[in-house]
Structure 1
């Protein structure tokens, strides 16, 4: 799930960079890139994978 979110954030960052768009002073290309990298890191850590140990 986090990989999909990261891909969407990177896509938005690319579109904003190409169109030279900034949404206010908070959401910039750098902010979207950093959020995307955070989601990739969480995905690689296994967060949100839906795995749980078997219970007996």
Structure 2
């Protein structure tokens, strides 16, 4: 799930950069890209992979 969030954030970052949209400092292209990298890192670490059933 976090990989999809990362892809959406990367796409938003690309649109902000490609369309040369002026935003405030919080939603700049670089900050949105860093949020996407954070979501991707959490996905690779296994945080957002879903529930795992523990069996005995």
TM-score normalised according to structure 1 size: 0.86
1:9 aligns with: 9
2:29 aligns with: 29
Q: How far 1:45 sits from its partner (Å)?
A: 0.4
- Paired with 2:36 and 2:15, the residues of 1 have a C-alpha distance of 14
State the 4+ residue runs in structure 1 displaced beyond 6 angstroms: none
What do the CA deviations read for 1:2-42 (whole angstroms, capped 9, x no partner)?
00000000000000111001322211010011001001100
- Extract unaligned runs of 5+ from structure 1: none
